[in-house]
Amino acid sequence: MSFDKTLESSRLVYKPINAGYCTDAYLGWLNDPRVNRYLEIFEPYSKKQLEDYLLAAEKNEHLLFWAIHTRDNDKHIGNIKIDPVNRYHGVGEYGIMMGDRSEWGKGYAYEASTTIIDYCFGEQKLRKITLGVVEENTAAVMLYRKLGFVTEGIYKKHGLYNGHYCDLLRMAVFNPAYE
């Protein structure tokens, strides 16, 4: 594995992802229409596809990828990543999936995001983190704005989600040390 840094916050622990996370629960998240509604998953995921994805992630040197666990019972509830990381430009692309729907609405996505962004700006010395989000995913857009992301551009009717073409917002947050 090229990346093996475990991180912690008040209620969560972030463990580097590996093939050991190829579980029925994770596979279920990927195939749950409520979880993957705005993800780039276009057909049912198989256990083999998940295993191959996780094995490739372990070897990818341009990827920072954690499994999100609750601190109190070590339950895997989602994943967060910066992929890819471009060290030359100091930029990384953010992604998060809160897979365990029983844990939605508890502020875990915000807590995880602030922890990972702070780590990337501090230890990893990134100057900018970017993301793409479907504009109608209002909960995600609100989260990203709360985290300090600003809209840099809009791709009009860019992707097909929930049966219709949606705008995609390109957003970014900047490391204050570089402003």
Angle between helices 108-122 and 138-146 (to 10 degrees): 40
* Coil/strand/helix, residue 56: helix
Which residues are paired to 174 by β-bridges?
128
For residues 112 and 12, is the Cβ–Cβ distance under 8 A?
yes
Provide the 10 A C-beta neighbour count for residue 66.
25
For residues 100 and 29, is the Cβ–Cβ distance under 8 A?
yes
* Coil/strand/helix, residue 62: coil
Report how far Cα 177 is from the mean position of its chain's Cα atoms.
23
Among the listed residues 144, 155, 161, 165, the single catalytic one is: 144
- Annotated active-site residue 110? The verdict is no
Active site residues: 144
